[in-house]
Amino acid sequence: MTRLWIFIAAVGGAGAVIADAAARHGTGGDAQAAEWFATGARYGLIHAVALLALAILPPSGRRAARGLAAVAGWSFGTGMVLFSGGLYGLALGWGRLLPVVPVGGTLFILGWVALALHAVLRGRS
């Protein structure tokens, strides 16, 4: 999974930088579009870094802890696509993407909860 998380983090991080540049330079003065791009970029970059951190965690011997790490990784990665990608789509005028944004946000929360539970299980002998 390490290579996958690094790859997803790298693509998500690059997308976040591109989206932030679009927010600053490519929205033609549309304040709402700029805000959607900027918010998507901020959350995308935060979760790209979280995925990198997850990728460098030493593997845990406990099966449940490893499973929770995978849940966190998939939640962060999918959340980046749905939340950040949904906001980018909204900024581009694709209003049909609005329903996926809260699903992506929920996945971010799930990822953080899974990561917290992972930490608890790793700490038990």
pTM: 0.92
- Pull the structure tokens for residue 57: 């965690």
Answer whether 110's CB lies under 8 Å from 75's CB: yes
Q: What pLDDT is recorded for position 125?
A: 53
Domain edges within the chain = 2-123
Residues (pLDDT < 50) of the chain are: none
Residue type, 38: A
Distance CA 38, CA 52 (A): 21
Element (H, E) at 55: helix 31-56
Which pLDDT belongs to residue 2?
87
Q: Which residues contact 55 (CB under 8 A, 6 or more apart)?
A: 1, 2, 5, 6, 9, 73
